């Protein structure tokens, strides 16, 4: 995977693949989590999750 993830409004602070490697989750200082499909990646996030990062485990 070699691509830019440009949907966050601030710096990305973490990345993690799903257990089945179908998605990449990116976490940013803007308190958002974005899910990116790893198959047929087109540069657009799959789902936006707005949340306070302290609620995630």
- State the pairing for strand pair 12-17/23-28: antiparallel
- Is residue 31 domain-resident? yes
Mean pLDDT of the chain: 74
38: containing domain: 12-52
Q: How many domains does the chain have?
A: 1
- Is residue 2 domain-resident? no
Q: Residues 7, 27: contact at Cβ < 8 Å?
A: no
- Is residue 1 domain-resident? no
% of the chain exceeding 90 in pLDDT: 16
Instruction: Note the pTM of the prediction, 2 decimals.
Output: 0.66
């Amino acid at each position: 995977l070699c691509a830019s993830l440009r949907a966050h409004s601030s710096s990305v602070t973490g990345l993690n693949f799903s257990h089945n490697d179908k998605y990449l989750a990116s976490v940013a200082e803007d308190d958002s989590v974005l899910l990116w499909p790893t198959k047929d990646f087109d540069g657009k996030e799959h789902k936006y999750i707005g949340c306070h990062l302290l609620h995630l485990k």
